[in-house]
């Protein structure tokens, strides 16, 4: 595969993936198709903007004609599909856009790919449609339940996870019905650079640095599995190159944490950074750490999210044994890297927060 179409490449994981792919695959070209919604940001792609192997098309994945034209004119032989509405809180406030992009948009891509990759009535076998999905399609686990496997029945609980589940089913159907060479990955929570500050880790970071309240749902007891974003990119690379067509692979960090423990750990890392570097006190005077106080004084428990899944955990046996994939970044160093990225890229998140992108109204923001 030589010419990739990356949908949603201006978002969090998509942009990390584009950086990763151009670095790791010097002979290959990448075209990004992204509508630049509130979550998409060209600044995420600035480091590769002048790379001759990279190009950007602003557009909607629901636009079948546009997608068909890109596939044909750019001779795309691999689609890695990230584009989605991705924030559960927003899906509770307004589900329509989730159904449009995640379900109809995925279907438009599948339809265009089927058309473009059928030659003389036969589906090409040297192409790939990789669909990036989430562990949230499996629903919620109790504290003692075994982690999700690829055989766990789907039981999505939010409009977001239901729309992703629907898209997974369409991808599967295009394989079984039309022979489209597809793979799907269902990954746990990612964290790292370019993460939009409405999601747990970056939201807590920017609030802490600006001395704002750090809103934690319920008592912060909900458990998620966490994976550093670059490890997710490596997992997709392994699946695209060596994964079996028609298969789904669960991807995770085998790293379950309660939300409150993550927030407290972030507070500790920030306090340590302020103790090591006096300049931070000047740059972030509203952060309690600038006056030697505990950052965790900002933690505020807010009413729980409706239908909040209790726990997600991933059984990664399949991707480990079939593709030899293991995460490389352990949680402690991944979290430290993330804090350091947000400290070093204040301009990025200030721009994101500057009003061009309105944060969702949710219990967390109330
Ligand atoms: P994100 O919200 O940061 O980025 C989504 C991108 O898609 C944005 O650049 C946005 O502009 C673009 N987009 C949205 N609607 C579009 C449309 N109609 N046409 C074209 N582009 C459109 O999301 P993310 O966190 O990077 O997630 C990427 C994918 O990975 C999603 O499919 C999500 O379901 C999946 N995923 C995310 C996580 C996570 O922890 N963030 C975990 C597992 C799976």
pLDDT value, residue 2: 87
Q: What is the pLDDT of residue 361?
A: 41
As a whole number of angstroms, the distance between CA 109 and CA 71 comes to 10
pLDDT at 307: 85
Sign of the dihedral through C-alpha 288, 353, 23, 316? positive
CB of 190 within 8 A of CB of 135?
no
Beta strand ranges found along 99-251 (DSSP E): 118-119, 122-123, 128-134, 182-187, 189-191, 214-217, 223-228, 248-251
How far apart (Å, rounded) are the C-alpha atoms in residues 31 and 154? 32
pLDDT value for 356: 53
Nearest to 344 by CA among 152, 217, 194: 194
Rounded mean pLDDT for each run of 10 residues along the chain, 366 residues in total: 94 98 96 95 94 97 98 98 95 95 98 98 98 97 96 97 98 98 98 95 97 95 96 98 98 96 98 98 98 97 89 96 98 98 96 64 39
Any atom of ligand 1 within 6 Å of the Cβ of 37: yes
Q: How far away, in angstroms, is 83 Cα from ligand 1 center?
A: 4
Per-residue pLDDT at 355? 58
Query: What is the reported pLDDT for 209?
Result: 98
List the one residue out of 233, 262, 245 whose CA is nearest residue 327. 233
Q: What is the 61 CA–ligand 1 centroid distance (Å)?
A: 12
The confidence score (pLDDT) of residue 363 equals 38
Of 63, 73, 75, give the one whose Cα is nearest residue 101.
63
Cα separation of the two ends of the chain: 47
Measured from the Cα of 15, ligand 1's closest atom is: 26
**Could you tell me if the CB of 249 is within 6 A of ligand 1?**
no
């Amino acid at each position: 595969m030589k010419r990739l179409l990356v949908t949603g490449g201006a978002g969090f994981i998509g942009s990390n993936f584009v950086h990763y792919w151009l670095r790791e695959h010097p002979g290959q070209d990448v075209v990004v198709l992204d509508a630049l919604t509130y979550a998409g940001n060209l600044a995420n792609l600035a480091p590769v903007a002048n790379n001759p192997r990279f190009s950007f098309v602003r557009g909607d994945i629901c636009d079948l004609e546009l997608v068909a034209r890109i596939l044909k004119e750019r001779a795309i032989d691999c689609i890695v599909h990230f584009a989605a509405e991705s924030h559960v809180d927003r899906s509770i406030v307004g589900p329509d856009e989730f159904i449009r992009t995640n379900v109809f948009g995925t279907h438009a891509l599948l339809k265009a790919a089927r058309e473009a990759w059928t030659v003389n009535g036969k589906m090409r076998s040297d192409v790939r449609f990789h669909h990036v999905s989430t562990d949230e399609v499996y629903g919620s686990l109790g504290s003692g339940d075994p982690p999700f496997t690829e055989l766990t029945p789907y039981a999505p609980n939010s409009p977001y996870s239901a729309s992703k589940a629907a898209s997974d089913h369409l991808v599967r159907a295009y394989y079984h019905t039309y022979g489209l060479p597809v793979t799907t990955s269902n990954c746990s929570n990612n964290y790292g650079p370019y993460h939009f500050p409405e999601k747990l880790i970056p939201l807590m970071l920017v609030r802490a640095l600006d001395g704002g309240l750090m809103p934690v749902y319920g008592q912060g007891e909900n458990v998620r599995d966490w994976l550093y974003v670059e490890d997710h990119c490596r997992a997709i690379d392994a699946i695209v190159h060596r994964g079996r067509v028609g298969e789904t692979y669960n991807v995770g960090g085998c790293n379950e944490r309660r939300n409150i423990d993550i927030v407290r750990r972030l507070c500790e890392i920030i306090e340590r950074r302020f103790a090591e570097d006096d300049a931070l006190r000047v740059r972030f005077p509203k952060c309690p750490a600038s006056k030697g106080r505990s950052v965790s004084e900002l933690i505020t428990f807010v009413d729980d999210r409706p239908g909040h899944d209790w726990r997600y955990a991933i059984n990664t046996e399949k991707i480990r044994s079939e593709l030899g994939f293991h995460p490389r970044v352990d949680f402690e160093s991944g979290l430290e890297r993330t804090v350091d990225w947000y400290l070093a890229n204040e301009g990025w998140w200030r721009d994101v927060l500057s009003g061009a992108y309105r944060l969702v109204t949710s219990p967390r923001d109330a």
